[in-house]
Structure 1
Amino acid sequence: MAGPDLIKTLLYTVNNLLQQQKYKAALAVLKGFRNGVVYGAKIRAPHALVMTFLFKSGRSTCTCCRGSCSPCLGWP
């Protein structure tokens, strides 16, 4: 295992690199990519999985004729 001095040195070096202005654009791209992956894993994938099981037989009648179903379901 690495000693505490090595970890402190590594953290100090990484923090200095991240604070430099020339890496700001690259870090913004990485942050956006990371946020997209997190959003996809937490929100999009479970939603797609649930919708697949709910509507695996095809479109339901309410998705086809939303205008006629919305008054009975209370949708605006």
Structure 2
Amino acid sequence: MEITRRESGNIVILDINGEIDLYNAPEIKDVIAKLIEEQKYYTIINLEKVSYIDSSGIGALISSLSNLKKIPGWT
């Protein structure tokens, strides 16, 4: 799996390429946690080039969304 970061204004776009599974799903959580630390709350996760995602990958995405929702004023 490869994650590429790009920005458009105050929006961060994460382009993910490859498979998201048990072994690399934590990397997604780490990248989004770093964005939260940088106060980059508006994020688009582009899954266009993801060929496979398992329940661990879905869990990482849901967990990251949950962490973003804990931020005051996040909508």
Bigger share in strand: 2
Is the radius of gyration larger for structure 1 or structure 2? 1
Which fold has the larger relative contact order, with Cα–Cα distance below 8 Å and residues 6 or more apart in sequence?
Answer: 2
Q: TM-score, normalised by structure 2?
A: 0.31
Bigger share in helix: 1
Q: TM-score, normalised by structure 1?
A: 0.31
